[in-house]
Every structure is written in C-alpha cells, then in structure tokens.
Amino acid sequence: MSDFFRLAIFEYKKILKRKNTWVSIFMILIVLVLLVMSSITGADYWHSEGGTPVFEAMKLDKEVVCSKTGIIDEAFIKEAIEQNALMLADDKNYVINDYGKHLKSSAYIKYILPYKNAVNIINSIYETNPVNLSTNGFQIINMSSIKPIDTLSLNDTKNFYTDINKAASNYISNLTFLSQNEKNMHLEMLSRVETPYRNDHYDGYLHFNMSLQVIALIILIVIAICISPIFANEYYMKTDQIILSSKYGKSKVIFAKLFTGISFSVGISFVTIFVFLLSMLSVHGFNGADMAIQTIDVYSTYPVNLLQASLISAAVTVFTALLFGMLSMLLSSLLKSSFLSVIISFLILLLPAIINVSPKDRLLYQIIQVFPARAAQFSNIFSNYMFEFFGFIFTPAKFYIIFSIIGTLLLVPLAKNAFKNHQIG
C-alpha cells in the first residue's frame, strides 16, 4: 500500500474516532426512518375508513391503481370518462346533507382511483379557469366541485396528447421571466417527451423526491460536522508544526486530507441517498419507474421518466455534497477553528433556504439557487428557469453538476495553500 493511502486511512481513522461522527451517522439513520415512516402515516388513503390500519390501507390503494397498469391510450381515457359518468349518475355514491354533496370513499375507489393519473391530467389541461387549479406536492389538483371530466365528451379528448402538448407550450409561453432562448429550449425538450404515458402506482418515487431536500440538508449538516475538524484540529492540537516540517507534510499529507474529505462527502451522500431510495421503494413498491414525469406534473417539459428523474436528483445531491465538503475543508484551513467552520457552514446552508427572490431579479435568483440547500431540491432541479451563459442554455441539473465540479477544482488549491502556507504560531 502506498504512503498516500496509508495517510488517507489514518485520516479516516481520526474522523471515525470522534464521537460526533457516530452521533451524526446515527442522526442520518433516525431521519431516514422518520421520513420513510411519515411517508406512510402522513398520507391519506381511500381505504383508511372503518379503522383499516394505515399500512393495509396503503396496500389496498396500491392494488386498485395497479389493477389498471398499462398505457394511457384512447381506450383508457374513454373508460375513465365513462366510469366517471356512471359515478355521477348514481346518488348512492354521495353523502348528501345540508353542507352539500360529498363523494363516498367507496365510490372514489371503484370509479376514479384506478384511473386517477389520467383523471388528474384531464382535470388540469381542460380546466378553463386557472383559479381552480392548485399545487399539491408535485401534482396539479383541480379544486373545483365541478371538474372538466364531469362535462367532457369522448370527442373532447380525442387529441389528448396534442392538447397536453399545447397546454404545456402555452404555460411556458406565459412565463414572463423566461428568455426566448429558454422558451425555445423548453419546446425542444417537450418535443422529445415520449407518449403515450403509462398508468401505474408511483408513490415510492413521489415520496423520495418530495423528501429529497430534507435528506440532503441532513447529509450536508453531517458533512460540515465531520469534515470541519480535518485541518482545524491540527491547529488546535498544535500538530500543524509537526506535519508541515515532516517529509511529506506539505504534499502527501495535505492531499491525503483533501482526498479523505472529498471521498467522505461523496461516500456518505451516495450511500445515504441509495439507502433512502431503496427504503422508499421497498415500502411503497418499485412500480412507476417508467412513468413520464408529466404524469405527476403535466406542465413539465423534461423528457424523463420517474426513475431517471430520481437518479438525476440523486446525482445533483451527491455533486452538491462534493462541493460543500470541499467548502467545509477550505473554511477549516482558513479559520483554524472547527466550531467556527461548522457555524459558517450552517449559515451557508440555512440562510439561502429562507431567502426568497423572484425570478424577475434573474442574477440574484440564480445566485441563490446554486447554494446547496436550494440546489438539492427536486423542484429546483427540474425548474422552468434555466441558466444561460453566452448564448448557451443549461438545465439546472447540468449546471449544478458542472458548477460543483468546477467549484471543487478551484477550492482544492485554495485549501491546500491555506494550510501549507499559514503562519505557524
């Protein structure tokens, strides 16, 4: 084994000997468990009436949706509209009282739940009053008591996918703060969206992406806690003098520290996200991987399915962790205090997360978006607002990854020289 890797292993041993490292790893496990459990207990299921346990209700809902797994084609849409009409025609499907007419859960399960993906799209793109539409997670929900599917005929949805394309195109065209180049990019991506869509159960991917920002934030906090002492502890323990005066002190030792910090940041983020995704899919099912992202966000122009979207989000989070780990090491080498380094790292994480800037102020908006807490967020990774430089358009995911790589490469020599050339006291 080379001296370099012996030094890197030694650095890993120092990280793993600290109590706060194991407390941090335990914190990740606790958050993982809580997020997976809350994805079950925090959701509403149509089978939950009558005291049905929540996990059983979740499985029953899934079985109903999976009973109609397949292509959302003309026959499927026709069937959805016909079933909705049958439901409307029978008052037994409703509870009617002084407060209005309320659909029974049993009726929804029978007539709507198997077709809910197509029904949600229909109720979004054929709605003439945008006020009736509301965002619920990633889905566009029609909040009106009378929905488009209630009044549409089969002929009205004859050009279903053409109408979706037109609705998405109009949505993009009406976004005031997009440049023409961005709009053209969206239209080009939209032309590559594969149709027809698939109908399936997709809750595993939905919950993973909804919770991504939380798990990313925890990962970055753990990185700050574990990586910040990598240089600062040498100052505190007065071992910097010994290191810098040793044979490899100004070369291999420093690079071993940098390698350790970078590999730890990438490793902890990759493993955590992989375990998190696998846990969500194990609980909610692996179904829905090949469903278009448009199934849950009908106005999205990205030509990806839910598995691809999840992997892209995971990759962006890992590269964001890479850059943040390098930034933590730079702060550690400059500030000579692991505590102060952690505090500043936390501020870099938390402050941009609570600052809201309108896309109207595009430069400031984009600066805020590249901060770690913003970059590792599904809605920003697949945002309508892109990054444009010298006529080149980058999707947020591509820009975040490129920015992380370039940023890391620029910070490496800064951290190296800050430790190598500091004044020994």
Q: What is the pLDDT of residues 60-73, one digit of tens each?
A: 999 999 999 999 99
Report residue 29 as tokens: 């496990």
Report residue 152 as tokens: 């549409």
Report residue 397 as tokens: 């995911």
Surface-to-core class of residue 289, CB atoms within 10 Å of its CB (0-12 exposed, 13-18 middle, 19+ buried): middle
Provide the residue-wise pLDDT of the chain in tens; the chain has 425 residues.
Answer: 577 788 888 888 989 999 999 999 999 999 999 999 999 988 888 888 877 899 899 999 999 999 999 999 999 999 999 999 999 998 898 887 777 778 889 999 999 999 999 999 999 898 777 766 666 656 676 666 678 888 888 888 889 999 999 999 999 999 888 999 999 999 999 999 999 999 999 999 999 999 999 999 999 999 999 999 898 877 766 775 666 666 654 668 888 889 999 999 999 999 999 999 999 999 999 999 999 999 989 999 999 999 999 999 999 999 999 999 999 999 988 887 888 988 999 898 888 878 888 888 888 888 899 998 889 889 899 999 999 887 789 999 999 999 999 999 999 999 888 877 765 55
Report residue 164 as tokens: 């979706």
Partner residues linked to 140 by β-bridges: 135
Residues 55 and 62: their CA atoms lie apart, in Å, by 11
Tokens 């102060």, located at residue: 340
Question: Is the CB of residue 318 less than 8 Å from the CB of residue 216?
Answer: no
Q: CB neighbours of 30 closer than 8 A, spacing ≥ 6? A: none
Residues 117 and 364: their CA atoms lie apart, in Å, by 37
Residues 4 and 2: their CA atoms lie apart, in Å, by 5
Q: CB neighbours of 243 closer than 8 A, spacing ≥ 6? A: 234, 249, 253
Q: CB neighbours of 346 closer than 8 A, spacing ≥ 6? A: 221, 224
Cα 386 to chain centroid distance, Å, stands at 17
Partner residues linked to 100 by β-bridges: 97
The whole-number pLDDT of residue 420 equals 76
The whole-number pLDDT of residue 9 equals 87
Residues 78 and 420: their CA atoms lie apart, in Å, by 71
Residues 286 and 203: their CA atoms lie apart, in Å, by 9
Residue in 6, 215, 200 with CA at minimum distance from that of residue 118: 200
Does this model's pTM top 0.85?
Answer: yes
In terms of phi and psi (left: phi > 0; alpha: psi -120 to 50; beta: otherwise), the region of 92 is alpha
In Å, what is the CA distance from 212 to each residue of 51, 136, 205, 314?
Answer: 31, 16, 10, 8
Residues 253 and 14: their CA atoms lie apart, in Å, by 14
